[in-house]
Amino acid sequence: MYARFGTGDDRTEPALRLIAKAARYGEHLKWPALGAAMATIVATAARLAGPLLIQDGVDQGITAGDRSRVLSVAAAFLGVLIIQYFSQAISQYWVAALGERFLRDLRVKAFDRLIRLDVDFFGKNKSGVLVARMTSDIEALTQFVKEGAINVVTSGLTVTGVLVAMFFVDVGLALAVLGLLPLLILASIVFRVFADRAYSQVREHIGQVLGAIQEGISGVRVVQAYTQERRKASEFGRVNERYFRANVSAAKAISVYFPTVDFLRTTGSALVLFLGGRRVLDGDLTVGVLFAFLLYLNWFFEPIVQLSNVYNLLQAALAALSKLFGILDQEPSVTPPANPAALEGVDGSVEFSGVSFGYDPDIPIVEGFNLTIASGERVAIVGETGAGKSTIAKLAVRFYDPDSGTIEFSGTDLRQISETDLRHHIVLVPQEGFLFSGTLRDNIRYGNGEVSDDKIWQVCQSVGIADWVATLPDGLETEVRERGSRLSAGERQLVALARALLADPTLIVLDEATSNLDPETESRVELALSTLLEGRTAVVIAHRLATAERADRVVVMDNGKIAEIGPHEELVAAGGAYSELQRVWMGAN
């Protein structure tokens, strides 16, 4: 089984590897990228031609007293500026549009992968951190595309072009300037080491900040009920302090690097003026060449400064890419079969054979579990908290695969059944009926969006909510709001049961579907359940033993194993573990 772990927040990948990955994800954009690159090359070449024209105008026009040469150079310079203007405008637009298209596709791919990952993944990753991946990390990439991408492209080309141009203008001065290059490279390496570490921590801690905010908002009622506002604020303060320190570390690296680059630029200019000025006085160098070389020298350091200015954006973008690729590279531990088996003669029977499983493979929750459930049989699974009841439910619907043993549905191993067939025939109804924002109609037909309103009303009638739906101001068009907040817990659960009935499964798995309800609402849900379970195989995780009484058989679990199994009356009469559970439950009620 694939190792169970999170999104990889503690790892950072090398920049070149991230860029290569990004290129693979954006391979479908290679032709627009080529067009943007060509426009950028033209704009850079036009800009680099300027000092050469100025050199010619000074030496062959002004110094020589040739007015026509000055005019022709000025006209050529104007033409170059026009070419630079239009090509740069096209380049900036194409680079920005290309980046936005890449981000659009990346968002879709990341979200698609996220919702396809299994329950194990979400159990090991905080929802706030995952939200940060899809919000703040995407925002970091968006900011880089809008403000930094074109600078990175043009600055990289400019540095390369200027270096070539300096050697073309004068080899001696170019070699003198290159003497400063080792210092610049050393400063850049040191800056990168510290900045990489700092910005990686920034992206890590912003996820923790967002996670803490989401947890605080979600649990605000509990916080206020126990007057723990100060404690919660203190916890958030500690998380926020780590985020603050990471940003300060990044600021320290920037505050040292920028002045260093500026100092090297000034030193280079002074060196060129000293060496070049002497050669001009000696007649070994023209004024135009010196003037052109100084322009190129300034342009050599200017892109480096620009790159440094957007380095924080670049680092944030690379760190964000690393986090997003942590999701995109994540493989689910529950993998679809390469060659799904054809389901024939589906009868709803289930067989657990020697099943063992643990969320941590070294700590088994279920061991050597054997159980055969006949077609149309209702089996209740009971036991103390931590006995493994809900784990059996999750295994039955293949949210997890067993570490050993097999689970067969209608004679076919769950691992050999396609996801489409599996979700069509097996439905889980959890403790809380989760509803999505939207209309009541949309939530009821969530698993079958093509059904008519007549069919929806039939289902509502079957589960006993038709009269209630009819009393709503907008009927099936009623907006349930986020998480169904407009409805009570019982109403949400009844809608969830209607949704399950409309899906028409062969096997129903109920994970304590009535445990959070008051007695009156529970009785309504139980009536709806009787309709839902009629003629279907059912695995019922029972928190209240009243639910187990209506089952054909009861399975009593203890420490991941079956302690007792049989009809309710027989187990009560046997005086064993189930009888003790019954006695405790009756006393509590």
The pLDDT tens digits of the residues spanning 163-209 come to 899 999 999 999 998 888 888 888 888 887 787 778 778 767 877 88
**What confidence category does residue 417 fall into, taking pLDDT thresholds of 50, 70 and 90?**
very high
pTM above 0.75, yes or no: no
Q: Residues 121-132: what's their mean pLDDT?
A: 74
**What confidence category does residue 11 fall into, taking pLDDT thresholds of 50, 70 and 90?**
very low
CATH class of the region 15-328 = mainly alpha
- Residue 542 confidence (pLDDT) above 50: yes
Q: Is 382 strand, coil or helix? A: strand
Residues 334 and 398: beta-carbon distance below 8 Å: yes
Contacts of 494 (CB under 8 A, 6+ apart): 433, 463, 464, 465, 468, 524, 525, 528
Report angle CA 337, 340, 343 to the nearest 5 degrees. 140
- Residue 9 confidence (pLDDT) above 60: no
Alpha helix ranges (H) inside 282-404: 287-309, 311-328, 389-396
Q: Please determine, looking at this structure, whether the domain spanning 350-588 carries the CATH number 3.40.50.300.
A: yes
Tens of pLDDT along 71-121? 999 999 999 999 999 999 998 888 888 888 888 888 888 888 888 887 777
Could you give the residue range(s) of every CATH 1.20.1560.10 domain in the chain?
15-328
Average pLDDT, the chain: 83
Higher pLDDT pick, 173 / 435: 173
**What confidence category does residue 5 fall into, taking pLDDT thresholds of 50, 70 and 90?**
very low
Report angle CA 148, 152, 155 to the nearest 5 degrees. 125
Tens of pLDDT along 308-367? 667 767 777 887 888 888 888 888 778 888 888 888 778 889 999 999 998 887 888 999
What's the 3-state SS for 424-449?
HHEEEECCCCCCCCCEHHHHHCCCCC
Q: At what angle do helices 136-147 and 127-134 cross, to 10 degrees?
A: 20
Which burial class, exposed, middle or buried, applies to 330 when counting CB atoms under 10 A from its CB (0-12, 13-18, 19+)?
Answer: buried
208: its two tokens: 């923790």
Tens of pLDDT along 514-530? 655 566 666 766 777 77
- Residue 589 confidence (pLDDT) above 80: no
Could you give the residue range(s) of every CATH 3.40.50.300 domain in the chain?
350-588
Query: CA-to-CA distance for 249 and 191, rounded, in angstroms?
Result: 11
Query: CA-to-CA distance for 357 and 388, rounded, in angstroms?
Result: 10
